[in-house]
Amino acid sequence: MAEDLWKKEYDFAVAVARKAGAVIREAGEKEIKVCTKSSTVDLVTKTDERVEKIIIGSLKEEFGEGTHCFIGEESVAKGEPCILTDKPTWIIDPVDGTTNFVHGFPFVAVSIAFAVNKELEFGVVYSCLEDKMYKARRGKGAFCDDDRITVSDVEEIKKSIIISEHGTDRSPEKVKKIFSTMQKILCIPVHGLRGSGTAATNMCLVACGAVEAFFEIGIHCWDIAAGAVIVKEAGGILLDVDGMSIRSVNCVAINQALCFGETPLLKNRLCLTIQGGPFDLMSRRMVSANNKKIADRIIKEIEIFPAERDDAPIQKK
Ligand SMILES: O=P([O-])([O-])O[C@@H]1[C@H](O)[C@H](O)[C@@H](O)[C@H](O)[C@H]1O
Ligand SMILES: [Mg+2]
């Protein structure tokens, strides 16, 4: 029946996420395998690889290798393609919050999403140390365990808590922009800034109304795919941090205004026209929020820096 499309896959994803979470909870293998390449600090352990193998192995066994595609963080690190096609595709982060996992910081998640025709059909985020199963199917609402969840109804940025993360890139110019953005948002002022150390969990915190927004530049599709469905189904909004064309239209408007001596109008035009673009899973730039007003207000403060798309062609060596 049409309404139960992908139900079997969804139920299976919930079961696999639970199984993977149990493996993470019991894992003794926290030794860092890969840590630093040039200016990034991106930890990987044997557990990340083991858990991904368990998840993809179980999915292939259940649904067959030929018809379904897989984008997994550790497989992509080993050179597998990261391209979303129209085929049914699983997007997997086996251990989101690897740094937390290594240090025993208590937020670690398994993130599994499923897309068909490039559209996300469902997402499952298992916050395995808290034992909370966040899940959502397109058009069917979002849940934490058996309870329906919804985003917060706060509309005033000054009454909000915002999450952001500094990510894995440690190049000074990027870190400067990240902290400058955080400073500007903190000084709006907002009630607080937070960060759990896992993008997937951060998105679930937006979905259940504990915070108003989470944004980051530099995240990957496997960090946010499942969370994106959960935020949307909880009534929230997803945007790219940059509405490029809108910004450039704005530049033309500024030039025209300057030529015609309309400078007093400039500030208003600028405020009205800077806004996010459509959410793009592969762009590595995302704002998730309870509503557009909060999202737009945050986007106004974000200092954008380049991050190579997840689906960028692999450079030949
Ligand atoms: O490496 P990983 O722990 O799976 O994922 C990371 C986490 O989601 C972190 O919160 C975010 O700031 C980084 O950008 C991600 O790479
Ligand atoms: Mg991750």
**Per-residue pLDDT tens digits for 199-245:** 999 999 999 999 999 999 999 999 999 999 999 999 999 999 987 54
Report pTM.
0.91
Least confident of 33-42, 66-75, 257-266: 257-266
CA angle centred on 94, ends 90 and 97, rounded to 5°: 130
How many CA within 13 A on the CB side of residue 141? 8
**Cα 95 to ligand 2 centroid, rounded to whole Å:** 6
User: Mutation test of ligand 1: which of 51, 92, 165 has the most ligand atoms closer than 8 Å to its C-beta?
Assistant: 165
Q: Where are the domains of the chain?
A: 2-146, 157-301
Verify whether ligand 1 is closer than 6 Å to residue 236 (CB atom). no
Query: How would residue 256 be classed by pLDDT, with cut points 50, 70 and 90?
Result: low
**Cα 245 to ligand 2 centroid, rounded to whole Å:** 29
Is residue 223 marked as binding? yes
Is the separation of the CB atoms in 129 and 106 below 8 Å?
Answer: yes
How many CA within 13 A on the CB side of residue 317? 1
10 Å Cβ neighbour count for 58?
A: 16
Percent of the chain with pLDDT over 70: 87
Verify whether ligand 1 is closer than 6 Å to residue 94 (CB atom). no
What average pLDDT does this structure show over 44-50? 95
Verify whether ligand 1 is closer than 6 Å to residue 275 (CB atom). no
Does the pLDDT of residue 266 top 60, yes or no?
no
What average pLDDT does this structure show over 70-99? 97
- Tell me how far apart the alpha carbons of residues 124 and 131 are, in angstroms, rounded to a whole number: 13
* Least distant ligand from the CA of 196: 1
Are 2-146 and 157-301 the same fold in CATH? no
Which one, of 245, 244, 187, 190, lies nearest residue 214 by Cα?
Answer: 190
Least confident of 128-137, 178-187, 257-266: 257-266
Verify whether ligand 1 is closer than 6 Å to residue 74 (CB atom). no
User: What b/e string do you get for 179-216 counting C-beta neighbours within 10 Å, with b at 16 or more?
Assistant: eebbeebeebebbeeebbbbbbbbbbbbbbbebbbbbb
CA 240 to chain centre: 11
Mean pLDDT across the chain: 90
Q: Residue 246: its pLDDT value, please?
A: 47
Query: Ligand 1: which residue has its CA nearest to atom 16?
Result: 219
Verify whether ligand 1 is closer than 6 Å to residue 102 (CB atom). no
Is the separation of the CB atoms in 1 and 72 below 8 Å?
Answer: no
CATH topology of domain 157-301: D-Maltodextrin-Binding Protein; domain 2 (3.40.190)
Q: Residue 261: which region, alpha, beta or left (left: phi > 0; alpha: psi -120 to 50)?
A: left
Is residue 48 marked as binding? no
**Cα 192 to ligand 2 centroid, rounded to whole Å:** 23
**Cα 270 to ligand 2 centroid, rounded to whole Å:** 34
Q: Is the dihedral of CA 117, 112, 276, 313 positive or negative?
A: negative
CATH topology of domain 2-146: Fructose-1,6-Bisphosphatase; Chain A, domain 1 (3.30.540)
Query: Could you give the C-alpha distances from 116 to 5, 89, 122, 292, in angstroms and in order?
Result: 11, 6, 10, 26
Which one, of 233, 245, 239, lies nearest residue 124 by Cα?
Answer: 233
